[in-house]
Amino acid sequence: MSTWGMIKTVFFTGLTVVFFFIIWIKNPFAPHHEYELPEEAEKIVFDPKAAEEGRELFKQNCASCHSLRYDGIYLMSVTAKPEWEKIEKTQGKPIIEEKDGKIHIRGYFVPRDVYEAVAISDLLGLKASFGKIPPDLSTYYLARGPGYLYQFIMDPQKILPGTTMPKLFFPEFDKEAPEKVAKIVAYMRSVNEPPPGEKAKRTLMGVATIGYFILMGALLWIYRKKIVSQMH
């Protein structure tokens, strides 16, 4: 290989390595970590069992203002409406869950327009009280990351000065408050986390895709070499 060819090879290999380093290790698109997540909370956030308890805590503490449609959680005032059950079953898609080897329906995913049509007066009521409609929290874990969510739920004013979201947990009075908040974050994480089987499939697909590009690159390179040699 000529010196120039060598330089080019080293340059493009280096570029590829830097690219994958940025995407995989120093991903600028991943949730940032400026918000501290205490060690005890971190253990809970990444524990799938805590997520189950977190779901109940979410229903009790958050569903008066927030929905989480991806997991079939809607405003309490909406689910209390007599027509809701029928709407869920006719317009929604069941969210299936396997628990202790048995399959059961965890909830229903109702399309956004259908939900908002039923919930409109409740949503506007919240807007009148809080200045804006409390957002649906389906994708907030991805958008904000665990540290932000933990800190925000513990003390909304500290993280988002001027927010109308009330502080709901008081460690001064409730020793379990930090644990409860961590469980809620664990739950919000679990909604955005594909189940283990699905995750393995996606990893495999990622590897196969990259493998395909490497193989195609190599084949093209060999082909190009052949053509170039024919031209001489």
Binding site for ligand HEC (CB under 6 A): 61-62, 64-66, 130, 132, 134-135, 137, 140, 144, 149, 152-153, 160, 163-166, 168, 184
Considering beta carbons, is residue 38 or 94 the nearer one to ligand HEC?
38
Cα separation of 45 and 186, whole Å?
4
Using only the alpha carbons of the chain, give its radius of gyration.
25
- What are the tokens at 48? 């799938």
- What are the tokens at 49? 């069992």
Considering beta carbons, is residue 87 or 191 the nearer one to ligand HEC?
191
Q: Distances in Å between the alpha carbon of 78 and those of 81, 83, 92, 115, 160?
A: 5, 9, 14, 9, 28
Considering beta carbons, is residue 143 or 200 the nearer one to ligand HEC?
143
Question: Which residue's Cβ lies closest to ligand HEC?
Answer: 62
Diameter of the chain measured on Cα atoms: 84
Residues in the chain: 232
Cα separation of 223 and 225, whole Å?
5
Considering beta carbons, is residue 13 or 64 the nearer one to ligand HEC?
64
Cα separation of 211 and 217, whole Å?
10
Cα separation of 185 and 179, whole Å?
10
Considering beta carbons, is residue 59 or 94 the nearer one to ligand HEC?
59
